[in-house]
Amino acid sequence: MITSGSDDLMQRARRVIPGGVNSPVRAFRGVGGSPRFIASASGPYLRDVDGNEYVDLICSWGPMILGHAHPQVEAAVRDAAAKGFSFGTPSENEVALAEEIVARVEPLEQVRLVSSGTEATMSALRLARGYTGRSAVVKFAGCYHGHVDALLAAAGSGVATFALPDSAGVPDSAAHETIVLPYNDIDALRAAFEQHGDRIAAVITEASPGNMGVVPPLPGFTQALRDITTEYGALLISDEVMTGFRCSKAGWFGLEGVVPDLFTFGKVMGGGFPAAAFGGPAQIMERLAPDGPVYQAGTLSGNPVATAAGLATLRGCTDEVYARLEVVSHAIADGAANALSAAGVPHTIQWAGSMFSVFFRDEEVRNYDDARAQDTEAFGRFFHSMLEQGVHLPPSAFEVWFVGAAHDDAAVQKILDALPDAARAAAQ
């Protein structure tokens, strides 16, 4: 496979962009080698600058649930762009997108639109602090909520451990307000609340974690989050940036049904454009400016082109689309399991609705420590074999294999054909 065009671009990029990329995982550090620069995408395929074609299992890390350049979304974007790119005043698309989100997720009464998942979680956290008048937040190791200072802390497991910053540049003061606990551990949660309950503004959790690979809540865990936060007067923030409108029409909430105080959304609801949201009952949301004292704003919030893309995408997410995601995910996961078993490679596949990931270890993964115990080098060999055969997986062992409704039978077959060689490469 010729990759000289991508390699040249990476050299150019490194001179003017740190690490050559605008989001670290794109740099292939988790798998070695150098990234492909994509020139265009349509349906389930990516095409790089050297003309190589790949079946896409990144789907822009979630948003491209209908496939790339979906005709209805493209038409909505063209139509919106022809009328102007950004007004800085209210516009109808914002209302329509908010209505669509509120209609899908029953407990929601109001949402505020923002431009990224990071902004959504950052703002939800500020609102929770403003609402409760408390400052500490509980998060779970292995859950990613964007690059918010207080939420980057992921190290320091154990009961009520005050984490050290996980990133340089995060002040201790921010990290000290973050209590990091192991996921799926109700005893650790209860102990943290017994010790610090009167200081805790919120527990934030991925609705069903996908950022350490797919690690769904064990039965009763989300309900325990709900019960303990209620008991201590803290808010429960369910981060559905990844799962929202993917796991079901109403995201993970639609499958499990535990009602949090606040939700955050992103990815699918922007259809590939920068649109995200946070929301909850009016009684909490009215604390936001201009009605309330918690400030939150954005020059491009509710951008007319982004909201048009999001609205067209959500309206395109029909029952048939969710049925197709099920079929495609199971075909690929079954193919991966068969190929890895035949090659003798330890593996476990875990699910959240139709969202799945493959761990390169043979025991159930219940938390971040379990996820890190997998064979990431075997994944690296597997990844590169798939790439050489024209299938682009996420370049990390800790990610969801994202599919879209545009993955037709031909695209799925191309993946299935590539899996046996990749599994043998992993076994070496």
* Residue spans of alpha helices (H) in 133-185: 149-152, 172-176
Residue with tokens 């490194």: 14
241 binds ligand PLP (CB under 6 A): yes
Considering the candidates 239, 261, 370, 375, report the single residue annotated as catalytic: 239
Among 61, 183, 265, 401, indicate the residue that binds ligand PLP (CB under 6 A). Answer: 61
Count the residues of the shown chain that bind ligand PLP, applying the rule CB under 6 A.
15
117 binds ligand PLP (CB under 6 A): yes
**Shortest separation between residue 266's beta carbon and ligand PLP, angstroms:** 5
140 binds ligand PLP (CB under 6 A): no
Considering the candidates 54, 144, 322, 368, report the single residue annotated as catalytic: 144
Tell which phi-psi region holds residue 109, choosing left (phi > 0), alpha (psi between -120 and 50) or beta.
Answer: alpha
Long-range contacts of 290-295 (CB under 8 A, 24+ apart): 292/130, 293/130, 294/126, 294/127, 294/130, 294/131
Angle at 213 between CA 103 and CA 196, to 5 degrees: 75
Amino acid, single-letter form, for residue 265 = F
CA distance 278 to 295: 14
Active site residue 239: yes
**Shortest separation between residue 22's beta carbon and ligand PLP, angstroms:** 11
206 binds ligand PLP (CB under 6 A): yes
Site string for ligand PLP, 97-116 (x = CB under 6 A): -------------------x
Active site residue 144: yes
Counting Cα atoms < 13 Å in the Cβ hemisphere of 74 gives 9
List the structure tokens of 82: 């022809």
Active site residue 139: no
| Segment interacting with ligand PLP (CB under 6 A) among 218-226, 239-247, 352-360, 419-427 | 239-247
Residue with tokens 């010729």: 2
Identity of the residue, 266 or 404, whose beta carbon is nearer to ligand PLP in the bound complex: 266
Identity of the residue, 149 or 421, whose beta carbon is nearer to ligand PLP in the bound complex: 149
Beta carbons of 394 and 57 less than 8 angstroms apart: yes
Output the 3-class SS for 259-328. CCCEEEECHHHHCCCCCEEEEECHHHHCCECCCCCECCCCCCCCCHHHHHHHHHHHHHCCHHHHHHHHHH
Site string for ligand PLP, 272-291 (x = CB under 6 A): ----x---------------
Using CB under 6 A as the binding rule, the residues of this chain from 207 to 226 that contact ligand PLP are 211
Helix (H, G, I), strand (E, B) or coil at 45: strand
Among 43, 130, 142, 146, indicate the residue that binds ligand PLP (CB under 6 A). Answer: 146
Considering the candidates 267, 322, 368, 414, report the single residue annotated as catalytic: 267
Identity of the residue, 184 or 211, whose beta carbon is nearer to ligand PLP in the bound complex: 211
CA distance 259 to 120: 18
**Shortest separation between residue 28's beta carbon and ligand PLP, angstroms:** 17
266 binds ligand PLP (CB under 6 A): yes
Among 112, 134, 139, 145, indicate the residue that binds ligand PLP (CB under 6 A). Answer: 145
Identity of the residue, 100 or 206, whose beta carbon is nearer to ligand PLP in the bound complex: 206
CA distance 186 to 262: 21
Site string for ligand PLP, 161-200 (x = CB under 6 A): ----------------------------------------
Strand partners, 303: none
327: buried, middle or exposed (CB in 10 Å: 19+, 13-18, 0-12)?
Answer: middle
Provide the total of helices (H) and of strands (E) in the chain, helices listed first: 15, 14
Name the residue number minimizing CB distance to ligand PLP: 117
Interface residues toward ligand PLP, by CB under 6 A: 61, 116-118, 121, 144-146, 206, 211, 239, 241-242, 266, 276
| Active site residues per annotation | 144, 239, 267
